Amino acid sequence: MSWIDWYNSLEKPSWTPPPAMIGFIWQILYPIIIVSFGFVFLKAIRGTIPRIVAVPFAINLVANLIFTPLQFGLRNLFLAAADIVIVWATILWSAIAIWPHYKWVSISQIPYFVWVSVATVLQLAITCWNRGK
């Protein structure tokens, strides 16, 4: 069964966005993430900010990148749910960590945080409704 057939077979809330909309939202968010995270990593490497400030950004990046393989490769809803909670928490942590240094980076995380908040509730609902799949 293809990943999309598998995903379509899952029970989902009525407000679940179609896959095309989810993809479109990520097309908007990824440039924001690339610019803001790249800026933080560059500043941390150059020593302009303490390297510890980049830690939540690094954790977030890894967690974000492994979501798709967990969800659609392994088809493991529980691991994907745990992962998206980590993504959500590290966005908040990142925004707090960078605020004293570069407020614009913190503010630029708002759309990412809002979307991942919705996606987290969605993922937790799908995980609960499809235990055992």
For a pLDDT cut of 70, what percent of the chain falls above it?
99
pLDDT digits (tens, 9 = 90+) for 38-62: 999 999 999 999 999 999 999 999 9
What's the mean pLDDT when you consider all of the chain?
A: 97
Give percent above pLDDT 90 in the chain: 96
Band (130; pLDDT cuts 50, 70, 90): very high
Q: Does pLDDT of 65 surpass 90?
A: yes
Q: What is the pLDDT of residue 132?
A: 76
DSSP symbol at 48: S
The packing angle between helices 19-46 and 110-129, to 10°, is 130
The pLDDT confidence band at residue 115, using thresholds 50, 70 and 90, is very high
Residue 81 — pLDDT band, cuts 50, 70, 90? very high
Q: What is the pLDDT of residue 20?
A: 92
pTM of the predicted structure, to 2 decimals: 0.94
Query: For the chain, which residues make up each domain, given as ranges?
Result: 26-129
Confidence of residue 95 (pLDDT cuts 50, 70, 90): very high
Torsion on CA atoms 23, 29, 33, 34, rounded to nearest 10 = 70
Q: How far apart are alpha carbons 133 and 130 in whole angstroms?
A: 6
Phi-psi bin for 128: left (phi > 0), alpha (psi -120 to 50), beta? alpha
